[in-house]
Amino acid sequence: MSAVQRQTKEDREYILTNLPAGVRRVQVIEPSGKQVYKRPDDVDTTLDQIMLASDGTPICMRGKPGRKKKPVLNSVTPQIAEIEAAREEHLTQDSLRREARSDAESDNVLNGIIAAMADEAAAIEFERAEAARHGQDTANHSSKRARVLKAMADTWLKRRQQVEGGIIDLDSPAFSALFAMILETFKGVMADSGTRPEHIETIFVKLVSELGEDSWREEAKVRMKDKIK
């Protein structure tokens, strides 16, 4: 620190003039005592003290301040580059991935999942047949296919429930958006009918309180079940 205190204005000007190439920031102590990095052109050679390392060189920052950019690694071989390009093309063309990224609530996502599981089950069935043809153990293939078929059946039942007018998921984003629109419409109708704003507010406070009760949700589920029987 004593080296910093002995700096003169001329010393600081000399240091700044002879900074190594590529230096973007230099560490200084402002008159307030705060240590900061400044661009060389912003250093006040009259008031700022330049911080020096133990070897007497200025403490500098090369490159832009902030988090370093993630380096882009090139493929080790042309063959790997081709595989990576093929993988990227496959991801871009995958219909299920596109549907899920564009609208996760879409029925097409569930349909795509069922179709993908059917493809997987068929592929496992082929591998099992090949293993049997070569006299190999097929137990692992059978268990894998059984798990895929079970998951497919569970998904299909959920899809069937939706198609046939099953119970609405009261916690889904889609229902929340629909119910919010209904409440906004109801509130607008009350205002258009001449209901005083303070009365509307009182009614909606009570309504929100009732809708927050678990008993309301259970009653709603019971009534939906009765409708689809």
- What pLDDT does residue 166 have? 57
Higher pLDDT, 24 or 221: 24
Confidence (pLDDT) at 157: 76
Q: Which domain holds residue 194?
A: 173-228
149-199 confidence digits (pLDDT tens): 888 888 877 766 665 555 667 777 777 777 888 888 888 888 888 888 888
CB neighbourhood size of 115 (10 A): 13
- pLDDT range class, residue 126, cuts 50, 70, 90: very high
Where does the pLDDT of residue 2 fall: very low under 50, low under 70, confident under 90, or very high at 90 and above? very low
Within-domain flag for 31: yes
What was the pLDDT predicted at 227? 64
- Highest-pLDDT range among 14-18, 62-66, 69-73, 110-114: 14-18
Q: Which two tokens stand for residue 99?
A: 């549907």
Whether the Cβ atoms of residue 102 and residue 157 lie closer than 8 Å to each other? no
Closest by Cα among 211, 206, 170, 204 to 189: 204
pLDDT at 90 over 60: yes
Q: How many domains does the chain have?
A: 3
Q: How far is CA 209 from the centre of its chain?
A: 33
Q: What pLDDT is stored for residue 165 in this prediction?
A: 57
87 vs 158, more confident:
87
Tell whether the model's pLDDT for residue 66 goes beyond 50: yes
More confident residue, 218 or 2: 218
Q: What is the arithmetic mean of pLDDT over 88-98? A: 83
pLDDT recorded at residue 130: 92
Query: What secondary structure letter does DSSP report for 22?
Result: T
Q: Is the same domain home to 51 and 86?
A: no
Return all residues near 12 (Cβ < 8 A) that are at least 6 apart: 43, 45, 48, 49, 50
168 located within any domain: no
CA 149 to chain centre: 30
Q: Is residue 111 part of a domain?
A: yes
User: pLDDT, tens digit, for every residue of 22-55?
Assistant: 888 899 988 888 889 998 899 988 888 898 888 7
Residue 220 lies in a domain: yes
Judge whether 69 lies within some domain: no
The answer to whether residues 83 and 159 belong to one domain is yes
Q: How many CB atoms lie within 10 A of CB 96?
A: 14
Count other C-beta atoms under 10 Å from residue 113's C-beta: 19
Pair 143, 211 in one domain:
no
